[in-house]
Structure 1
Amino acid sequence: MIIVSACLCGINTRYDGKSNLNETTLKLLKEGKAVLVCPEQLGGMSTPRLPHEIVGGDGAGVLDGIAKVISADGNEGTDAFLKGAYETLKIAKEINAEYAILKAKSPSCGYGKIYNGIFSGEKISGNGVTAELLSRNGIKVYTEEDIENIDT
């Protein structure tokens, strides 16, 4: 089984209340190979919500207590992002997920590149909180940008 960001299958879970429909992930869902998650909603955040970025590092730093997740208006969302990451991991373990296909650049789901923490639109190397936690627990993480590398 594969964990997939719900927004990639057309579910309106993005911070702005929209989706990022990706036909390849939707096909996996229709074939019964995927389970949808939205770590931010699992962490208790509403949709829509203000955009968030990781300040002071990346998802590894958040998991290690060094970095924080902050909203565009300066409010801290670290606890919700951590809760959502651990809830996603719980689901992944329940379904014996080998892979995750997560939304690129997201502070939760980004893998390899995330936004830089100052809301400038620039990206830095690093992973989102959920992507980092899943990776640390042996789940291979991909984004919709490198989905062709998955052997399902």
Structure 2
Amino acid sequence: MILVSACLIGVDCKYNGCNNKNDKIINYLKDKNIVPVCPEQLGGLCTPRIPAEIVEGSADDVIDGNAKVVNKEGQDVTEEFLKGAYETLKICRILGVKQAILKEKSPSCGSNQIYDGSFKSKLIDGYGITAALLIKDGVDLKSEKYFGGGEKNGLK
């Protein structure tokens, strides 16, 4: 069973009400059991919603209560992001999910890079909150970039 960011398979759950449909991922997943999720929706955020970023720290800092997630209007949405991350983790544990394909750059799902918290489209190395929790729980994480040019780290 593979957990997948719902936006990657065409569900309109992205912050702007659109999706990040990726035909290569959809093709890869066609004969597999999948669990599509949007941690931000699981946390109670609506779609569309104001873009948010992790500020003043990392995903681990947010989990430990030492950093926040704020939206572009300055509203603290940390509680919703944490709730969605823990609900996603709960789903993985209940279903025995050991692999996940998550949307890169997201403050929830980023598995290699996220935005730096300045809302200026600057990327930094790091994880989203959901990705960090799943990694700690032993889930093998990949982002959509592994399904591009045949990178050797893609799921088998």
1:70 aligns with 2:70: yes
1:34 aligns with 2:38: no
Q: Is the 8 A contact 1:29 1:35 kept in 2?
A: no
Q: d(CA) in 1 for partners of 2:81 and 2:102?
A: 15
Q: Is the 8 A contact 2:142 2:155 kept in 1?
A: no
Q: d(CA) in 2 for partners of 1:27 and 1:61?
A: 36
Gaps of 5+ in 1: none
CA 74–104 in structure 1, closer or farther in 2 if over 3 Å, else same:
same
Matched residues, percent identical? Answer: 49
Q: Deviating runs (4+, > 3 A) in structure 1? A: none
Q: d(CA) in 1 for partners of 2:56 and 2:37?
A: 26
TM-score (norm 1): 0.95
- Count residues with an aligned counterpart: 152
Q: d(CA) in 1 for partners of 2:144 and 2:14?
A: 15
Q: d(CA) in 2 for partners of 1:60 and 1:120?
A: 22
Following superposition, the deviation at residue 150 of structure 1 comes to: 2.8
TM-score (norm 2): 0.93
Q: d(CA) in 1 for partners of 2:89 and 2:27?
A: 23
Gaps of 5+ in 2: none
Q: Is the 8 A contact 1:43 1:83 kept in 2?
A: yes
Following superposition, the deviation at residue 11 of structure 1 comes to: 0.3
Following superposition, the deviation at residue 48 of structure 1 comes to: 0.1
Q: d(CA) in 2 for partners of 1:63 and 1:81?
A: 10
Q: Secondary structure at the match of 2:114?
A: strand
